[in-house]
Structure 1
Amino acid sequence: MTYDVLSAVTKVSPAKTGDAREVITVQLVADKARWDSLIASCPDPHLPQGFAYGEGKAAKGWAIKRVVFLNAGRPVAIATVLELRRFGLRLVNRVNRGPLFLAATPDAAEIVGVYAALRRHWGRIWTAPLLIAPALRFGPHSDQLLRRAGYRLRHRRSWQSGRIDLTVGEEALWAGLASSFRNRVRNAEKAGAELRISGDDATYEWMLARHAENMAERGFAAAGPELLRALRQTAPEDVSVFQLLHQGAPVAGMSVVRFGTHAEYHIGWFGPEGRKLNAGNFLMWQVLREMHRRGVRTFDVGGLKPGDGYTRFKQTMKPVEYQLAGEWMSF
């Protein structure tokens, strides 16, 4: 497993990082196995940084660059950089929920050094602007680090979600859910709800069709079939569909994507019969159980939006909620 080195490896000025010992270099990673290994080493990963998600964005016309940041030759962070090109010209660069650090608590100098190195290659006038949703937690400390690295705030709208620790075991997971959530799972089971878990092509195409119908009927935008199909084709073993069957027919479904030792709820659909059966509660509980059995350590509920009814439902699972630092830019 080898790196494809960028044509001009940049060293970040120690003045940028505030630490004379800090010398951050960047290299490209082309090998899927190597990238998957790096993602698995990140204690706080995010789905858009996974290899398969990058391939999904490639299907939508983005050029993908996967980068490892090295401090004195030691990998310290990674990022998937999306480049939008037209007629041979690079128009914009994008990083979504990255970079990811390999240490659980990187120091400030290392964070600034990594973000400065990213900006040096993809956030200058001659490289096209860089639009970034940093994988840093919301707050003044992150703001300060980003400004030190040379970034400007675009807006405060940011990714919010919640995570559930699956390592506690099935009994503790069940006890950690709200009593109302547990009661609805029991009611679904009493009403004859059955579970089917599948990774085959036909079931995934069924899920994509329901997802497209759901977006059209409810008038919202989300990842489309082209991206999702390419994602699954890249790593079919990491994409699972959970269906609720009633009298032998699927009346609800959820798709979950695994990346490293983490997994995230991605798309779902609940038909009228499924909603009567408390499909959301039944399926989410089955997802938690199955991901735990497969050795997944953390489950992300796939986004939270204050005031949204589906968000209130997810909050009855009592995830540890978090919010990222907003949208930033460099040029």
Structure 2
Amino acid sequence: MNTTWDHLPRSQWEQLHAAQQGALQQSWAYGDALIALGVGVRRAMVWQDGKLLAVAQFMCRRIAGYLSLASCTRGPVWQPDVLPEQRAEVYRLLRRDMPLPRLKVVLFSPDRTADQVSAAETRGMSRVMTGYATVLLDLTLPLEALKAQMDGKWRNRLGKALSNEKIRWHVQPSLKRCEWLLGKELDQREAKKFHGLPTAFVRAYVDAHTEPQQAFVVAYAELGKNTIGAMLFLIHGRVASYHMGWTDDEGRQLNTHNALLWKAMAYLKVAGIEVLDLGGVNTHDLPGISRFKLGAGGHAVSLAGTYF
């Protein structure tokens, strides 16, 4: 078993990432976007007898000027037939061969639930953080099945929004609309005092693709001359991830986001996207947003956590 670092074939990485429905944080374009923003990124491919076993992307930073921290978020991305004992050896190799100064901490946050991560895989490692929770929508299902699995109240709000003939619905990879929504995101971050990935990340993520339509899509609603709500989704392989959304008071009263998510689901399904990741769920700190995501149906997932 051997590891190659950094100067890697993008096409081979993306082929495995797409086939295994890899998370946004393990996509090649995500890494390129972070590099464009000045973030340290290390990429690894692990091989055995000429066969690619896994790819792993790490976000790296220095702590206190002397400690190097490398975090593999929702990764590595594995070939499906890699055994738990082989995974344990891959973790060991990646920790040992990480091209960072000697005082280093290497963290792994598998993109699987605790039930899917066996003791043999994590032998010799300790869990140091609880897992990330999200909701995954299976877009390979018929639209009728997707609607049927929604919470009843959620589905009723969707019906009311769609029945409003005055609202115009759009879903498209519009750079102009994307820039407009990023401006709205900055405004609401300032007003509500919360933080997230820099909005410049989205521009860098789009620039990391040859064709912009391969990177994102914006769903937005218009009433008269006003835009009353919008959502941004980032595309990575066969998966799309909800990234941000905005609505004004009128859009909120008209349940705009219910219809925008539904319209985006239909668009992404036709585009060949198999999974829609609705992003973090935290019922304690963000109860309203979490109820919205859970009400949309799909499968609530709590990942195994972070291991050292």
Q: Same fold (TM over 0.5)?
A: yes
Which amino acid in structure 2 is aligned with residue 232 of structure 1? V
1:137 aligns with 2:116: no
Q: CA separation of 1:36/1:90 partners in 2, compared to 1, >3 Å: closer, same or farther?
A: farther
Q: Which runs of 4+ in 1 moved over 6 A?
A: none
**Cα pair 1:63 1:85 within 8 Å, conserved:** no
CA contact (8 A) 1:193 1:277 kept: no
Is structure 2 residue 292 aligned with structure 1 residue 310? no
Quote how far apart the aligned CAs of 1:320 are. 0.9
Residue 262, structure 1, aligned to residue 268, structure 2 = no
Cα contact 1:69–1:77 (8 A) shared by 2: yes
The equivalences for 1:209-220 within 5 A come to 209-220=183-194
Gaps of 5+ in 2: none
Report the CA distance between 1:122 and its aligned residue. 2.5
Q: Which whole-Å deviations, capped at 9, do the CAs of 1:222-255 have from their partners, x for residues lacking one?
A: 1111222211111222211111111132111111
* Superposed counterparts of 1:282-293, under 5 Å: 282-293=259-270
Identity, % of aligned positions: 24
What do residues 84-124 of structure 1 show as CA deviations (whole Å, max 9, x unaligned)?
A: 369x9873222111111121x64211221221221112299
Which of 133, 136, 144 lines up with 1:163 in the alignment?
A: 136
**8 Å CA contact 2:16, 2:77 repeated in 1:** no
CA distance in structure 2 between the partners assigned to 1:67 and 1:163 by the alignment: 27
**Structure 1, unaligned stretches of length 5 or more?**
1-23
SS at match of 2:194: coil
**For residues 217 and 168 of structure 2, what CA distance do their matches in structure 1 show?**
16
8 A Cα contact 1:70 1:77, kept in partner: yes
> Which residue of 2 is the match for residue 181 of structure 1?
154
Instruction: Please state how far the C-alpha of 1:60 moved relative to its aligned partner.
Output: 3.0
| 1:62 to 1:124, Cα distance in 2 relative to 1, 3 A | closer
Asked if the contact 1:93/1:129 (under 8 Å) is kept, the reply is yes
Which of 205, 209, 230 does residue 179 from structure 2 map onto?
205
CA distance in 1, matches of 2:299, 2:186: 30
Distance in 2 between the 1:216 and 1:49 partners? Answer: 29
Distance in 2, Cα, partners of 1:196 & 1:286: 8
> Does residue 33 of structure 1 match 2:6?
no
Partner of 1:269: helix, strand, or coil?
A: strand
Alignment partner of 1:144: what SS?
A: coil
Residue correspondence of structure 1 range 103-252 to structure 2 within 5 A: 103=80, 106-122=82-98, 126=102, 128-138=104-114, 142=117, 144-145=119-120, 147-148=122-123, 150-156=124-130, 158-191=131-164, 192-235=166-209, 236-237=212-213, 238-252=215-229
Contact 1:90 1:128 in 2 (8 A): yes
Shift of 1:193: 2.3
CA RMSD of aligned residues (A): 2.4
